[in-house]
Each structure stands twice: as C-alpha cells, then as structure tokens.
Amino acid sequence: MNSNDATPSNFIRNIVIEDLKTNKFGGRVMTRFPPEPNGYLHIGHAKSIFLNFGLAAEFGGVCNFRFDDTNPIKEDIEYVESIQADVHWLGFDWDDRLYYASDYFGQLYDYAVQLIKMGKAYVCSLSADEIREYRGTLTQPGKESPYRNRSAAENLDLFQRMRAGEFDDGTHVLRAKIDMASGNLNMRDPVLYRIRKSPPHHRTGAQWCIYPMYDYAHGLSDSIEGITHSICTMEYEDHRALYDWFLDVLGVYHPQQIEFARLNLTSTVMSKRKLLQLVQEGRVSGWYDPRMPTLAGLRRRGYPPEAIRNFCERIGVGKRESLVDMALLEYCIREVLNKEAPRVMAVLRPLRVVIENYPEGQVDYLEAINNPEDPSMGTRQVPFSRVLYLEQDDFMEHPPKKFYRLSPGREVRLRYGYFIRCVDVVKDPQTGEVVELHCTYDPETRGGGAPDGRQVKATLHWVSAAHAVPAEVRLYDRLLSKADPNDDPDDLGFKAFLNPNSLEVLKSCRVEPSLAEAAPGSRYQFERLGYFCVDSADSGKDALVFNRTVTLRDTWAKIQQAGTNPGGTGKS
C-alpha cells in the first residue's frame, strides 16, 4: 500500500482505508470499470474511471475493465472499440484484465439453475405489461404471479427450453422469488432472464437466446472476478439489496457495492441515450463531434487528458447530486494548455492592412516567444512584410470611449513587431464596408518599444499576408443554451434547449506560416483568441482545420469570486 497523504480524501477512499485496516478483503483492493457498450464514453464516465483506476493504483490493487454486454439489442462492436480507446487515452490501463459479462453467461446460467433448484427462482409467463401491473407501486404492494408456485422441476424444464430456443421473445422470463410486498420495488420478484432471439450478440453470436438482466449479471460478475469494492452511481442504491440478495442466497464471494453521485455538467447532457438521439437525428456530426461531452468529442476538441483527470480530482466524490459548472472544466483545460500550448498568431476574420512606408518585397523576421510560461520552448521567427492581416474587430472607424485598439489616426503595437498608425480607411464603394486600412509604421519601435517613451494602449496580433497560411476555424459554444436542462417545468425535453449557435465555421482565416505543417491533434494558443487544436478528422484534406478548444476568458474565477458555486462538488 502506498497511500499518499496528499491525496484529497473522499468517503469511498475512507471506506477502502478502513477495509484495509480491518483486513475485510484480505488486504486486497480490486475495483472495476463496467461500461455497457451501447454508446461512447462521456465525461461522467471519466469520473468513474478516475475513481476506480485511481483507488486501485493508490492502494496497490488492480482495476478490471469489464464490458457489461448483456443486451445485444443496444450494443455494438463500434462501442467496444471506442470505449477501450477512450480509457487508454485518459491515461489508464487494465493490462490483461479485460473481461466481458458475456464470458460468464455459462456460469450465470448455472447459478440460475441453482436458484431454481433452491426454490428461489421461477419461470413466469405473464406478459411484460402484466408483470408491470402486478408489480404494484410505491404505496401499494404487488400481486403474486399465478406462475409463482410452479414446481422446481417444471421451472427447470421451462428454463432449459427457454435456453434451447423453444419459445418466442416475451413469452416467458425467469424471475427471482423474493417478496411481492417488499417496500423496495426492486425486490418484488425481479426478472433475471428474458428471451431475445435476435440480433446476434457481438461476442457470443447466436449461442444464447436468453440474456441475464443487469442486476443479476452485474453483482455475480463482480463476485466471479473477486472484486472488493463495486463502485456505482446513486441510482443503484435501491438495487443494493438485490445485489446482496443474489450473492447471499447463492452463498458466493461477496463484494461491497458503494454508490456515489454521478457527474452532471451545466449546458450539456450526460446520458448515452440522449447523446445517441443527437447522433441519430443528425443534430451533431457524430459521437466525436467536438460539442459532445463524449471523451471522443472532447479529445477532438483539444481537451488534454491530464486536464480531465485534474478536473475529476477537483470535483471530488460525494453522495449528493450536483451540477458542476462547465466553467470549472474549462478552467482545468486552460490550466494545462497554458503550460503546454505554444503561442502562435492567427487572424480569424482578416482585415487587409497595407503599411505604406514599408518597402515592397522586403521581409523582416521578428523573434517571437513560443511560451512565456516555459522559456525552454524557445523562440521562432515570424515574417513581417508590407501587407498584413489584422482582426476585423480590432479596428473601429468610430471607436466608442473604451475602445483602445486601432482606429483612424491612432497608434497601436503589433505583437513582437512595430508601432503602426492608421492613416487611411478604404471602403467598398457599394456597401460602405471597410475593406482595407492604410497604416504607417515606425521602424524605431521594432521589438515593441518606442525610444522616445511614447505609449500605446493596445497590442494586436497579426499575420503577414504573403506568408500566412489559409485555414478553417471552427468555433464551439455550449451544446445547450440552458445551464440545467433538467429544470424543465414545461416538459420541453432537452432538445428544446439545443444552442443554435454552438458551432460557427470561419473559412477565410489566416494563420502564421509556422503552422503549415501542424500535426492533427496538436494544440496551440492563438494569441488573444484562445486555445485551438488541429482537427484530427478533417484537417489537411483541403485545408488546415482548427477547433477552438476554449477561449482565454476565465469565467470560473468570476464564479468563484461571486461565491455562487463552491466547486459544485456536493461532497458529503
């Protein structure tokens, strides 16, 4: 055990420490991450991955990776592959401990036979609707199924024939025989097995036509693998009695289920079912659309895995439901990128600027710092010439009071370059739109200072028109325009809150020439604009494509100052 005292604790970590002290599991720590391969992983899963792999690593244990693949209707090999890639990308590894609940179908079947023989399970031939009706409600006890008292022999025969494919979907199920009057609805004779003749399972093919339900398969899979702490989200709290029941009745090894509050983030959704809808309805370009909260989307957006891990650490682990502000995640992204991302200059909405007194054909190479946070990242040479591009919104013909950037007659500094003064404005005679500026530069100000000590109030980024590389830049904003989509008194559904401006594509951007060969996935700070990364799917086909990862504005600091969101952790 190499428990690190600097690690912030949480109630689950405390349970593990206590169990190690009392030798509850023989000093072992074995957790698992059990995704169902029915969608891509999202940042909520990252919380679970970080917790499970993190605890195992901290206490010298291991974390198994297990696909909970018990429902072939919703599952797909595409998800099996993406999920593994995403966990690796996040920085975690399961060595040779990759398991599938479907590996245990034989053993789970044998356990079911055992339950039948013990009189603890029976084949029920009510329809799904009838079963629901008979279940009762929170205030009313359920009604016993007329099939509840079938003999063990009859149950065995029917269950074997279910397995052999003699019956159609929905005609029979296997149910546990527990208590139809239980205050816990999960204990009212829950279904253990149902018939599903198609589609074939992605691993077992047509070998099985009956499939175990999650509650049954999950705890027993934990038991088979020797898991010590089976960590899941709060909605399974009411299922724990059932988890325990199977293990106790069968008398097999008994892991401890522990529940924690799932991660919810503002302005997005965190359910695979809802994310799948967005994909299927074409509301996003796919699971890896950079607006999606999926790990594949965030990766493509440029989020570094380290930043996601830091975020998981910061939000902590508690039992109380909470909504974490997206601004905290973005804060964590900036924190890492600020250290790592090289600074470059790019102009998103170019305005042509001619430096009248700069000789035609001359090129000046100016030294630019790659990262002021990290001198070891060195410097580069940026070309300066007679025609430049500046950002359109860095110029105003009639500036209001607090606008300090370029305007007619005013002088500003060009980053790493010279002072320039605007002497003329060229407009489109038809539209009146400003299409070009004429400026003069002061050769004495090379490097950014004036020998006579005169000051300017703004420093602008720019690129040299002749040297700059064209690029497409995709600006992303919140997926939803409503912070808490569950606050939906009129029952509009989350799709009513989709932000129509979540993507803006700028096609005529210009980036400095050092980016010409930028590799897919590489991340940069575009000075004054934000952090951007080279799109890994589309860049390089026709043009360079950059995704805006996050702006430079730190809204999290403001939220904290206002004291409105204490980290949103719901720690308890």
In the chain, the largest separation of any two C-alpha atoms, in whole Å, equals 102
Query: Cα(510)–Cα(531) distance, rounded to whole angstroms?
Result: 16
Could you tell me the smallest distance in angstroms from the CB atom of residue 163 to ligand ATP? 26
* Residue 263, contacted partner among ligand ATP, Mg ion, none, CB below 5-8 A by kind: ligand ATP
β partners of residue 351? 390
Core vs surface per residue 51-60: b (16+ CB within 10 A) or e = bbbbbbbbbe
Please tell me what DSSP assigns to residue 201: B
Query: Cα(470)–Cα(473) distance, rounded to whole angstroms?
Result: 10
DSSP states along 6-57: TSPP-HHHHHHHHHHHTTTTTT--EEEE---SSS--BHHHHHHHHHHHHHHH
Could you tell me the smallest distance in angstroms from the CB atom of residue 516 to Mg ion? 45
Could you tell me the smallest distance in angstroms from the CB atom of residue 202 to ligand ATP? 15
Residue of 36, 58, 313, 335 with catalytic role: 36
Shorter beta-carbon distance to Mg ion: residue 225 or 340:
225
Could you tell me the smallest distance in angstroms from the CB atom of residue 35 to Mg ion? 8
To the query of whether residue 367 is one of the catalytic residues in this protein, the response is no
To the query of whether residue 262 is one of the catalytic residues in this protein, the response is yes
Shorter beta-carbon distance to Mg ion: residue 36 or 154:
36
Query: Cα(431)–Cα(440) distance, rounded to whole angstroms?
Result: 26
* Residue 345, contacted partner among Mg ion, ligand ATP, none, CB below 5-8 A by kind: none
Shorter beta-carbon distance to ligand ATP: residue 55 or 468:
55
Q: What angle do CA 294, 300, 306 make, to 5 degrees?
A: 75
* Residue 272, contacted partner among Mg ion, ligand ATP, none, CB below 5-8 A by kind: ligand ATP
Query: Cα(478)–Cα(127) distance, rounded to whole angstroms?
Result: 44
* Residue 88, contacted partner among Mg ion, ligand ATP, none, CB below 5-8 A by kind: none
Shorter beta-carbon distance to Mg ion: residue 75 or 340:
75
Q: What angle do CA 276, 186, 223 make, to 5 degrees?
A: 80
Binding residues (CB under 5 A) for Mg ion: these are 36
Evaluate whether 185 touches 214 at the Cβ level (below 8 Å).
no
Q: What angle do CA 484, 489, 494 make, to 5 degrees?
A: 50
Shorter beta-carbon distance to ligand ATP: residue 40 or 418:
40
Could you tell me the smallest distance in angstroms from the CB atom of residue 185 to Mg ion? 18
* Residue 271, contacted partner among ligand ATP, Mg ion, none, CB below 5-8 A by kind: ligand ATP
Core vs surface per residue 117-128: b (16+ CB within 10 A) or e = eeebbbbbebee
Is-cis flag, bond preceding 199, omega within 30? yes
* Residue 201, contacted partner among Mg ion, ligand ATP, none, CB below 5-8 A by kind: none
Binding residues (CB under 6 A) for ligand ATP: these are 34-36, 44-45, 47-48, 68, 232-233, 262-263, 270-273
Residue of 262, 446, 528, 571 with catalytic role: 262
Could you tell me the smallest distance in angstroms from the CB atom of residue 71 to ligand ATP? 11
* Residue 35, contacted partner among ligand ATP, Mg ion, none, CB below 5-8 A by kind: ligand ATP
Q: In what order do the strands lie in the sheet with 173-176?
A: 121-124, 173-176, 191-195, 210-212
Could you tell me the smallest distance in angstroms from the CB atom of residue 504 to ligand ATP? 28
* Residue 301, contacted partner among Mg ion, ligand ATP, none, CB below 5-8 A by kind: none
Query: Could you count the other beta carbons within 10 Å of the beta carbon of residue 364?
Result: 17
Residue of 66, 203, 272, 299 with catalytic role: 272
Evaluate whether 433 touches 482 at the Cβ level (below 8 Å).
no
β partners of residue 424? 438
* Residue 478, contacted partner among ligand ATP, Mg ion, none, CB below 5-8 A by kind: none
Dihedral of CA 172/175/177/179: which sign? negative
Shorter beta-carbon distance to ligand ATP: residue 317 or 337:
317
Single-letter amino acid, residue 100:
Y
Shorter beta-carbon distance to ligand ATP: residue 155 or 294:
294
Single-letter amino acid, residue 348:
L
SS3 assignment, position 175: strand
Please identify the residue of the shown chain whose CB is closest to the bound ligand ATP: 44
Shorter beta-carbon distance to ligand ATP: residue 44 or 417:
44
To the query of whether residue 272 is one of the catalytic residues in this protein, the response is yes
β partners of residue 382? 366
Could you tell me the smallest distance in angstroms from the CB atom of residue 127 to ligand ATP? 26
Could you tell me the smallest distance in angstroms from the CB atom of residue 271 to ligand ATP? 4
DSSP states along 395-410: B-SS--TT--SB-TT-
Shorter beta-carbon distance to ligand ATP: residue 269 or 366:
269
Which active-site residues does the annotation give?
36, 262, 272
